[in-house]
């Protein structure tokens, strides 16, 4: 049955309690309302798991606002800026001004909003148990549980990327819903092993690509999440195996778009082969993409009146090579429809260049219908090159060719001998390529952390930076530590007051 994810508006009952609260749903008793009666119930329940954290809209992981995972990750990396100079807002991300008890501001709100999402993991666990207890066929159970496990690991990765391990509900807690069970955080290895096991289960069942059910997770997405876990943990040997498996699907399933860089993101290029996973968007379906109104310049054109909340930091803009076709997706100067000259010294572009890589002729003044891309094949290629470099102690012709192919797509020359002379300089070239290739896609924070430049870049770029080595992970909001009676331990480097 073909199911368009974004037209299913059914939202399951989501268990939104903390692992520390006293009242929980009973998991060990079966009632008619407590399990799914047929395949349609199961399908609606799975669709509901997508709707809550992954919908396009304010407050979700990918809402294209000041609290979304993608946007904030790039602000923290210093690649993104805003035309608004709100001292309590965007600079708190760029200057790494977050502590356990950060004063009110964007950084505090983001941490609290993001950390609370770990309860969605409990909701997915509950859904899996209900599917297991339902009377649907084994085939339906296997497929739907695999999909739920991939979604579990997706949320689990975002949590891990930002905070490290978060508490996961235990069998003991589920068996005793009325008891107070305080759940500690697992070790990094224990936590990641659970997530990777879930992903392996999904990889074994899901189709490699979901063209018929576009927007649902696939084997490709599960492999990509597995690769991300291993890359952030610098497990390059295992990561190379996963990257090679993904790369083996190049051709009929996935590939690099060979034409223009902007073709990857355009409405006309929807569902192109470079996309491994995207959130589908449509004006009539509730999945509304605010990318264009947030990123396009103010008074840029008569039919595109935008807010230009987010843009590219000028320091980052200056790192692009002359002739890079990706510069055609960045506006550094324009004359507004009212005759104003806008550039880095004047008016709306004074604090940031504009990123216009997403193009959609259906844009209606607030929403566009271009899908929001989460992962794409260029990431596989550059990740594989990085893994080869790490595992071989230096670049190989294969690794160099992978990077050069991405560069060739944007009309840049091959890397020089100096850029490929050894492991260190080639890693620098890969990081630089990743930052440019994935601008405004939310990958720059984890890339800079992995390459060891996250803290130093913030200090070099922002005179008031409060960055430190422990800030590669955010502080766990203190209220969750207090609710756990100290069972949940704060990330090292932060002081509980």
Could you give all domains of the chain from N- to C-terminal order, each with its CATH number? 5-234 (1.25.40.390)
Q: Are 56 and 281 in contact (CB under 8 A)?
A: yes
Q: Does residue 262 have a pLDDT over 90?
A: yes
Question: Residue 171, SS3?
Answer: helix
Q: How confident is the model at residue 181 (pLDDT cuts 50, 70, 90)?
A: confident
The band of 35, judged by pLDDT with boundaries at 50, 70 and 90, is confident
Question: What is the rounded CA–CA span in Å between residue 233 and residue 259?
Answer: 34
Residue 188 scores a pLDDT above 90: yes
Lowest mean pLDDT across 194-198, 248-252, 405-409, 479-483 = 479-483
Q: Is the pLDDT of residue 29 over 80?
A: no
153-157, 279-283, 437-441: lowest mean pLDDT where? 279-283
Residue 95 tokens read as: 């200057």
Whether residue 226 has pLDDT greater than 90: yes
Note whether 490 and 476 are within 8 A (CB). Answer: yes
Q: Is residue 427 within 8 Å of 440, Cβ to Cβ?
A: no
| Confidence band of 60 (pLDDT split at 50, 70, 90) | confident
Q: What pLDDT, on a 0 to 100 scale, did the predictor assign at position 84?
A: 85
* Mean local confidence (pLDDT), 289-305: 90
What per-residue confidence (pLDDT) applies to 373? 96
SS3 assignment, position 282: strand
Q: What is the mean pLDDT of residues 453-476?
A: 97
Question: Which tokens is 19 given?
Answer: 């692992």
Question: What mean pLDDT do residues 462-486 have?
Answer: 94
Query: How does residue 284 score in pLDDT terms, banded at 50, 70 and 90?
Result: low
Tens digit of each residue's pLDDT (9 = 90 or more) over 336-367: 999 999 999 999 999 999 999 999 988 878 88
Phi first, then psi: give them for residue 414, nearest 5 degrees.
Answer: -60, 155
Query: Is pTM, for the whole model, over 0.85?
Result: yes
């Amino acid at each position: 049955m073909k199911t368009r994810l974004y037209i299913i508006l059914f939202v399951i009952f989501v268990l939104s309690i903390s692992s520390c609260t006293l009242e929980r749903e009973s998991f060990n008793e079966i009632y008619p309302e407590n399990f799914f009666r047929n395949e349609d119930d199961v399908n609606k329940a799975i669709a509901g798991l997508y709707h809550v954290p992954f919908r396009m809209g304010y407050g979700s992981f990918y809402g294209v606002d000041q609290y979304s995972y993608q946007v904030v990750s790039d602000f923290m990396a210093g690649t993104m800026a805003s035309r608004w100079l709100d001292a309590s807002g965007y600079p708190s991300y760029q200057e790494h001004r977050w502590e356990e008890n950060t004063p009110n501001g964007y950084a505090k709100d983001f941490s609290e909003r993001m950390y609370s999402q770990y309860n969605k993991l409990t909701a997915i666990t509950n859904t899996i148990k209900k599917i297991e207890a339902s009377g649907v066929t084994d085939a339906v159970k296997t497929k739907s549980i695999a999909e739920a496990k991939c979604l579990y690991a997706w949320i689990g990765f975002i949590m891990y990327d930002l905070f490290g391990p978060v508490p996961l509900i235990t069998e003991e807690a589920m068996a005793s819903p009325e008891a107070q069970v305080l759940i500690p955080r697992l070790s990094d290895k224990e936590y990641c092993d659970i997530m990777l096991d879930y992903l392996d289960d999904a990889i074994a069942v899901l189709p490699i690509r979901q063209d018929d059910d576009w927007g649902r997770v696939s084997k490709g997405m599960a492999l990509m999440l597995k690769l991300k876990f291993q890359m952030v943990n610098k497990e390059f040997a295992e990561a190379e195996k996963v990257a090679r498996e993904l790369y083996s699907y190049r051709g009929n399933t996935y590939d690099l778009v060979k034409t223009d860089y902007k073709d990857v993101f355009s409405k006309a290029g929807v569902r192109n082969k470079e996309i491994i996973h995207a959130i589908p968007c449509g004006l009539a379906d509730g999945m509304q993409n605010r990318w264009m109104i947030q990123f396009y310049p103010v008074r840029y054109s008569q039919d595109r009146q935008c807010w230009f909340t987010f843009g590219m930091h000028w320091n980052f803009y200056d790192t692009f090579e002359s002739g890079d076709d990706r510069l055609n997706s960045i506006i550094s100067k324009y004359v507004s429809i009212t005759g104003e000259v806008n550039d880095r010294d004047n008016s709306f572009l004074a604090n940031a260049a504009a990123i216009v890589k997403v193009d959609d002729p259906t844009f209606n003044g607030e929403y566009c219908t271009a899908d929001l891309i989460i992962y794409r094949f260029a990431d596989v290629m550059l990740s594989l090159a990085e893994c080869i470099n790490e595992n071989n102690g230096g670049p190989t012709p294969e690794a160099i060719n992978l990077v050069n192919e991405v560069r060739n797509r944007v009309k840049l020359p091959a890397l020089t001998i100096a850029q490929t002379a050894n492991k260190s300089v080639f890693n620098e070239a890969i990081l630089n390529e990743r930052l440019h290739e994935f601008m405004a896609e939310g990958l720059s924070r984890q890339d800079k952390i992995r390459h060891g430049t996250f803290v130093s870049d913030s200090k070099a770029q922002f005179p008031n930076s409060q960055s430190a080595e422990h800030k590669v992970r955010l502080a766990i909001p203190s209220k969750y530590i207090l609710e756990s009676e100290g069972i949940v331990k704060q990330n090292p480097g932060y002081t509980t007051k």
